Chain A
């Protein structure tokens, strides 16, 4: 308990943009063959530092085979919610779930990023016993504590019952139990986020564990068996109030990015691939007259390629799908960044008009057939994947790995961990920083990035930006 709210908690997204810039980033490292324990790398992102672009500290876990993916904070700006009436928490602990082991690590960052250390380990058995869920994934700090989405239900293959969300105490890290009271037709789970004062939540669908753990299942994809629906919830009543089917050909509805300003009742959703034409797509959802709506508002075409340049999975198509695997929205709700992991492109859309995203910037790096090198000379493999934006919106960071078993199906030469950064122009446009190319220890892949003091996918704001 603190006497004042944590200085990194901000009432509005606009105030968060004016806060001091980040000096460090936290990046997850995973061992794709499970031969080494996974870890958390702390990267110096201060251009004035002698260690700029280097891993300056790392926390290596005591177990192997966890498979780190996404992570988040124990507390964020949502603590300033007037409904909690008690914002005296610290943004201090990083909650890192292993999506393969279902183990959850709590990392203490007291004393600064370079002093990060393990605080507590929640064993998989506790998660199974108290929630009936497995394979914890996305973390958000919210009204009742820490919310954790899961990809699997019970049983060894995670198909005994649907996956869902569970709640953890934000101080003791005890697993409290399931979030859902009425899940409606929801039977798959991926991302989730919300509008706190408007009291709704949005969740998306990836797939069930047998559809991803041993690699993508082409037959399931071509028969449209991956997730293609988006669910809208009454947040505090914990009820699914509406489900929208995007159409079965829109396979894998992943990241949910609501506008940060809670006045705006809309947000975005990325869909990995349209099985009829290999397009990636951006969808805009909004609430109007008490109902939710969702429309496709941008598409990204596949690129033709010679059969011999393609992995077996794609040879029949003679094309590279863009594979929209991550999206992220700047705190001013102006620019949406879209990772095209297949074609090797990071796109920046101006979404000032959320129904008409306009392409404002683009850089190429990596890609299945393009194989674009980093301007600093780095042999970047894979494509742009997990993307994170600085609070002020001027810097964009990303890594290159998607998921251990899927990486090898699309990029046969493997994907050594890399992390790069682009600078954002005053009125849009992005350019890669040639001096920022982070190399990680041998054998690791890199996944989600978190920025010191919060970033564009950690914090929920309870007051409008005025």
Chain B
């Protein structure tokens, strides 16, 4: 696996973070609302912090189990294929199920971290990272067969944490920049003006990422 591939995968981690961050469905309008309601920019930053925590937990909650499973070296290929299929299935599900998400609306506005976690999980945001993450695990461990499972596990867990941190940082910075711009200069009108229905694009993104994940297994061999 070349350094270019590794760099590309990290770029994908950052790009998916920006993609999630600018999507209003992941919460930047909540930060605007918090700032405007209390008439203090401090509340906006506090909200961004809580949104980041929720998003991070949603990411790492998905990546860690996959990282742990990857230590079962003999099943690695099957795990990668299964992961790709799960991501594709999630995309197809979101493509078909177009109901208004009523459950998210039941979370009280005071529980922003929980909301962020639920929103990311409901949209399969963590799943979008899985094939990228599995690619990174592979790129980092060229001689996996010679390593002890514990070493491998530790490596995968560190990678999972790093991927989640980098992704969440990109997400909250991009979303935060929009939130601050709306709060300070653009005004609330921007909220409805900029809001596009990304349902289809989002679902297709999952299918695409899952597909690339499966396809890359063939290339790696």
Contacts and interface: CB of A to CB of B under 8 A. Distances in A.
A236 B189 contact: no
B41 interface: no
A143 B192 contact: no
Contact of B196 (A4, A463, A464): A4
B188 A11 contact: yes
Contact of B105 (A15, A81, A262): A81
B99 A171 contact: yes
Given A11-B188, A84-B101, A85-B101, A199 B110 contact: yes
A466 B185 CA distance: 11
- Which among B27, B100, B104 has the greatest number of chain A C-beta atoms within 10 A? B100
A83 B107 contact: yes
- Which among A15, A80, A85, A463 has the greatest number of chain B C-beta atoms within 10 A? A85
Given A15-B188, A143-B105, A144-B106, A87 B36 contact: no
**Chain A residues touching B, range:** 35 or more
Contact of B27 (A82, A87, A199, A466): A82
B119 interface: yes
A11 B26 CA distance: 17
B191 A463 contact: yes
A4 B25 CA distance: 13
Contacts of A169: 100, 102
Interface in A1-27: 1-5, 9-12, 15
Given A11-B188, A82-B33, A88-B197, A143 B100 contact: no
Interface residues of B, number: 34
Interface in B169-221: 187-189, 191-192, 195-197, 199
Contact of A4 (B29, B106, B107, B197): B197
B88 interface: no
Contacts of B107: 83, 236
A263 interface: yes
Contacts, number: 101
Contacts of A2: 197
B102 A145 contact: yes
B145 interface: no
A87 B194 CA distance: 12
Interface in A109-160: 143-145
A466 B187 contact: yes
A88 B196 CA distance: 8
Contacts of A145: 100, 102
Contacts of A89: 100
| Chain A interface, DSSP helix/strand/loop, else mixed | loop
B42 to A, nearest CB: 16
A197 B188 contact: no
A277 B199 CA distance: 59
Contacts of A4: 195-197
Contact of A463 (B25, B99, B100, B188): B188
B179 to A, nearest CB: 10
Given A143-B106, A171-B100, A236-B108, A86 B25 contact: yes
Nearest to A84: B105
Given A83-B104, A463-B32, A199 B109 contact: yes
Nearest to A171: B100
Interface of A: 1-5, 9-12, 15, 80-89, 143-145, 169-171, 196-199, 236-237, 262-263, 462-464, 466
24 contacts: A1-B197, A1-B199, A2-B197, A80-B191, A82-B30, A82-B33, A83-B30, A83-B104, A83-B105, A85-B27, A85-B119, A86-B25, A170-B100, A171-B99, A197-B33, A197-B37, A198-B37, A199-B109, A199-B110, A236-B107, A236-B108, A463-B32, A463-B191, A464-B188
Counting from the closest, the 5 A-B pairs by CB-CB distance are A82-B29, A143-B105, A11-B188, A85-B25, A82-B30
